[in-house]
């Protein structure tokens, strides 16, 4: 049996005494993809944040590639995240004072990888925003900025691509483009793709689901 690349066991998160969330066991094997589904407020974003090392569970373990990530020091966890996880959020979190290309270069630098301008431009080209490489985030439309954020998540060739509603601000054409690219890149690098979404266009493409 192939090893699990993700296992969340008996994970709970308490925001307050009134808002206590608990999550069923979640596992994924290498190369498998999964959709996280659930109504608004069911805990999808909370789960994703715990899964990618941004939110320590109140109890339970998050094991990625055999590593108990909340057993790492803050510095080790930062490094692990930079090297292994590509994150795509609803808010793009691009750095406003840097151009799109510089945002990608920074992501590579932070992960300790060498800068490769040609490769970065290629990713932008595939997402149809190469002409925006030297623009600043505020000069892009929302959909373009979303694609730039996806480019940034891909440049480190992460083992895990974790996305919270990656297609919500995109029209059909660009949603298909982005989903193809995410599936393609995951395939190329043997990465696991995890998407929290309400988007029916995504639901049609990934069969494996985790219902909250
Ligand atoms: N900082 C917070 N303090 C208290 N409660 C919170 C906080 N953040 C989230 N919650 C509550 O935790 C629950 C889960 O929130 P979460 O954002 O994970 O849901 P979601 O499934 O991603 O929702 P949506 O689809 O609307 O984005 C909700 O009931 C929410 O009100």
Residue 40 Cα to ligand 1 midpoint, Å, equals 8
> What ipTM did this prediction achieve?
0.96
Domain boundaries of the chain, sorted by first residue: 4-211
CATH architecture of 4-211: 3-Layer(aba) Sandwich (3.40)
pTM: 0.85
Could you read off the pLDDT of 60-98 as tens digits, one per residue? 999 999 999 999 999 999 889 888 999 888 777 899 999
Is the beta carbon of 90 within 6 A of some atom in ligand 1?
no
pLDDT at 69 (0 to 100): 96
| Torsion, Cα of 197, 202, 204, 206 (10° steps) | -80
Q: Which residue has the least CA distance to atom 8 on ligand 1? A: 15
């Amino acid at each position: 049996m192939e090893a699990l690349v993700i296992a969340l066991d008996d994970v709970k998160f308490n925001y307050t005494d009134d808002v206590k969330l608990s999550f069923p066991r979640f596992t994924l094997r290498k190369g498998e993809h999964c959709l996280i589904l659930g109504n608004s407020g069911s805990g999808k974003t909370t789960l994703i944040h715990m899964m990618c090392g941004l939110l320590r569970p109140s109890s339970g373990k998050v094991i990625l590639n055999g590593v108990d990530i909340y057993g790492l020091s803050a510095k080790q966890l930062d490094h692990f995240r930079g090297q292994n996880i590509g994150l795509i959020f609803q808010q793009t979190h691009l750095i406003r004072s840097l151009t799109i290309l510089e945002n990608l270069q920074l992501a590579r630098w932070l992960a300790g990888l060498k800068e490769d301008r040609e490769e970065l431009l290629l990713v932008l080209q595939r997402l149809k925003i190469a002409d925006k490489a030297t623009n600043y985030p505020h000069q892009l439309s929302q959909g373009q900025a979303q694609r730039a954020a996806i480019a940034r998540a891909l440049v480190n060739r992460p083992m895990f691509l974790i996305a919270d509603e990656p297609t919500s601000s995109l029209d059909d054409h660009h949603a298909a483009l982005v989903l193809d690219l995410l599936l393609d890149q995951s395939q190329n690098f043997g990465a696991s793709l995890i998407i929290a979404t309400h988007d029916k266009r995504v639901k049609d493409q990934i069969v494996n689901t985790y219902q909250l």
